[in-house]
Each structure stands twice: as structure tokens, then as C-alpha cells.
Amino acid sequence: MHVLVNHKLVRSRVRLAWMYHLSALLVYGAGLWLSTRLPDTSFEASGLLFGSMALGLLLYSLGQVPLRRWGPRFRQDAALVRALKGLDSRYTLLAFAHSSLPDYILVSPGGVRVLVPRAHDGVITCRANRWNRESRGGLARLLSMFGRSPLGDPGQDVAQGVQRVRERLHARGLAVEHEPPVDGLVVFTHPAVKLRIESCAPTVTGAKQLRNHVRAPKGPLNQRAVADVVQALQA
């Protein structure tokens, strides 16, 4: 399997995240330093301190958005590569191909698949397209709130990703010429996850079963068509 990672995009987004975080630290420090230059009981000192804290928190939050998507701790391309190990050269995994596209796209003779990974553990339930993760108590739950990305709505992410891929292919003229089928699936990569799926629109799988879902010995795309789709999806 070929793996194509847009390292330039990843580096630029991670750099942007750290710039936000550095700015947050500078704002915190500047507010604290300036507040010490004013009388402790003055309104200006209190306002300056709380204002710098609010602005610093905002900058930190803005930095967390790209970091949770492109940061090395949250990236899922390595986990997907391990799950897809054994697929032959007719398969190409695109990671972060373009900022306007889904993060992970698999192109094969069977078509184009948008992969929406989640690294959550525990019990994940999807009933009638409503997602839920079983709550954990105590310190473990508190740490998970700050250390993990939210579950969100993976099904909606799949639908939006498929739509963006189709729009990209139509813009490049390939959807008309080759008509590659485009679909998607949700992949839970944590080995300890337990899935309870009932009447859920997207296909949902664990990492161990992923290869069985995407393997396509034959399909509508020949080798040339696969190469054209890959080129159209790259930045």
C-alpha cells in the first residue's frame, strides 16, 4: 500500500498551533508583570490581570483546534497504516491531502473511501445515528476530558467528508469521466474499544476489521483511474 502524507500542511498547522500557545503565554506573562506595577487594590490591576487571563485562554483554545487535528499526539495515520497492513500497491492512503478535504482518504480499485478515525476507548454506542460514549467516573473521566478529542458525530463527519471528496472530483472533472464510487466509514482505532452499533447510517468498524471492509480484489477503477483520482485529491 502506498502512503502519501502532506507533511508541509501538517507542519504549517502545528506551527500555527504553537504560535497561538506561545502568544497565550506571552499575554499571561505581560498581564501579570503589568499588574504588579500597579497598586494591588486598584481597579486597573484587577482588570488587567483578568483581561490577560481571558485573552490568554482564548489564544490557547484557538491553538488547541489545529493541534487536536494535526498534532502528533492526535494523528491517526500511523494507526490506520497498521490496520491496513498487507494491502497491495493498488491501494493508496492519503493523509492530510488538502485542508479542505477529509484527513484520511483511501483510494483503491473499489473506489474512494473516507476514513473517519476515533481513538476513544470504552463503550461506544450508536443507535439511530445518535452517538454516545459511556461515561467514566473519578480521575479517569476528568483526564479524558482534557486529554482526548470529543467523540462528536462521526456519522456526520463521514457524510461531510464524502460530499467534499465528490465536490473535489467534480471540480477536477474525474467524477464525470471515471465515476468513482465514494463512501466512508468510521474506524475506532483503540484496542480496548467496545462497539454497540444499531441502525447507524455509516459503516462502523474497529481497527482489526478495517482491512476486511476496504479490500476490493476487483472494482470499477483500473490502475490508471486510481492514479488519476489520487492526483486529483492531492494538493
Q: Tell which of 48, 70, 92 closes a domain.
A: 70
* 53 inside domain: yes
In a domain, 82, yes or no: yes
Q: Sheet with 193-198: list strands edge to edge.
A: 130-133, 122-127, 193-198
Residue 82 has pLDDT above 90, yes or no: yes
Average pLDDT over residues 207-231: 89
pLDDT digits (tens, 9 = 90+) for 198-214: 888 899 999 999 999 99
Q: Are residues 61 and 150 in the same domain?
A: no
| Residue 196 within any structural domain of the chain | yes
Q: Does 2 fall in a domain?
A: no
The domain tally of the chain equals 2
pLDDT band at 40 (very low <50, low <70, confident <90, very high): low
DSSP string covering 176-201: HHT---EEEEEEE--TTEEEEEES-S
Coil/strand/helix, residue 175: helix
Range of the domain at 116: 76-233
Task: Tell whether 60 and 90 lie within a shared domain.
Answer: no
Confidence at 141, pLDDT banded by 50, 70, 90: low
Its pTM stands at 0.81
Examine the domain organization and report whether 45 and 95 are in the same domain.
no
Radius of gyration of the chain (CA): 22
Residue where a domain terminates, one of 19, 37, 70: 70
Indicate the residue among 70, 93, 117 that finishes a domain: 70
41 and 105 inside one domain: no
Give yes or no: residues 28 and 139 share one domain: no
pLDDT > 70: what percent of the chain? 85
Q: Which of 49-53, 84-88, 179-183, 231-235 has the lowest mean pLDDT?
A: 49-53
Is 33's pLDDT higher than 80?
A: no
Same domain (yes/no): 175, 214: yes
Instruction: Give yes or no: residues 56 and 149 share one domain.
Output: no
Q: Is residue 1 part of a domain?
A: no
